Amino acid sequence: MPGTSGVKALFFSYFAFVGITSPYLSLYFADRGFTVAEIGVLMTVPQVLRIIGPPFWGWLADRMSRRGTLLRASAGAVLALTLLLPLASGAGYFATLALVGVLYFMTSAQAPLAEAMALESAGGDFGRYGRMRLWGSVGFIVAVSAIGWALDRAGVATLAWWMAAMAVGLLAASWRLGTASAAQVHSGVVGTIRLRLRERRIQLFFLANFLMIVAHMGLYVFYSLYLSGLGYSKTAIGLLWALAVLAEIALFRLQRPLFERFGAAFLLSASIGVAALRFALIGLSGGWLPVLIVAQLMHAVTFGLHHSAVMARLHEWFEPSRQARAQALYVTVAYGCGGTLGGLMVSALWIGLSPSAAFLGCSFAALLGCAAAMASARQTVSS
Q: How many CA atoms lie within 13 A of 302 on its CB side?
A: 27
CB 235 within 8 A of CB 17: no
Please tell me which residue, 157 or 297, carries the higher pLDDT value. 297
Would you say residue 182 has pLDDT above 70? Answer: no
Give which of 208, 189, 304 is closest to 258, Cα–Cα.
304
Q: What digits encode the pLDDT tens for the residues 277-316? A: 999 999 999 989 999 999 999 999 999 999 999 988 988 8
What the chain holds in terms of domains, given with CATH numbers, is: 4-181+189-382 (1.20.1250.20)
Q: Is 170 helix (H, G, I), strand (E, B) or coil?
A: helix
Across the range 61-83, mean pLDDT stands at 81
Q: Which residue has the higher pLDDT, 112 or 337?
A: 337
pLDDT per residue as tens digits for the range 209-235: 999 999 999 998 789 889 989 999 888
Question: Considering the chain, what is the average pLDDT of its residues?
Answer: 85
Give yes or no for residue 321 having a pLDDT over 70. Answer: no
Check whether 110 has a pLDDT greater than 80: no
Q: Radius of gyration (Cα) for the chain, nearest Å?
A: 19
- The mean per-residue pLDDT over the stretch 15-30 comes to 87
Q: Looking at residues 198-215, what average pLDDT do you find?
A: 94
- Whether the CA torsion 327, 196, 336, 227 is positive or negative: it is negative
Tell me, what's the pLDDT at 211?
97
**Percent of the residues in the chain that have a pLDDT greater than 90, as a whole number:** 38
At residue 60, φ and ψ (nearest 5 deg) are -65, -40
- Please say if the pLDDT value at position 178 is more than 60: no
- Which tops the pLDDT comparison, 227 or 120? 227
Region of poorest pLDDT, from 50-54, 136-140, 310-314: 50-54
Burial class of residue 53, CB neighbours in 10 A (0-12, 13-18, 19+): buried
* Mean per-residue pLDDT, 313-336: 80
Least confident of 31-45, 92-106, 122-136, 274-288: 122-136
Q: Which of 26-30, 178-182, 280-284 has the lowest mean pLDDT?
A: 178-182
In DSSP notation, 29-64 reads: HHHTT--HHHHHHHHHHHHHHHHHHHHHHHHHHHHH
Interatomic CA distance for residues 104 and 238, integer angstroms? 22
User: Which distant-in-sequence residues (6+ apart) come within 8 Å of 153 by Cβ?
Assistant: none
Instruction: Give pTM, 2 decimals.
Output: 0.76
> What per-residue confidence (pLDDT) applies to 22?
79
CB-CB contact of 218 with 348 (8 Å): no
Closest CA to 205 of 320, 59, 306: 306
Contact 61, 182 (CB under 8 A): yes
Above 80 in pLDDT, residue 189? no
Most confident of 46-60, 146-160, 351-365: 351-365
pLDDT at site 80: 94
Count of CB atoms situated within 10 Å of the CB of 143: 31
Q: Residue 79 above 90 pLDDT?
A: yes
Q: Is the pLDDT of residue 69 over 90?
A: no
Would the pLDDT of 53 be above 90? no
Closest CA to 103 of 151, 143, 163, 146: 163
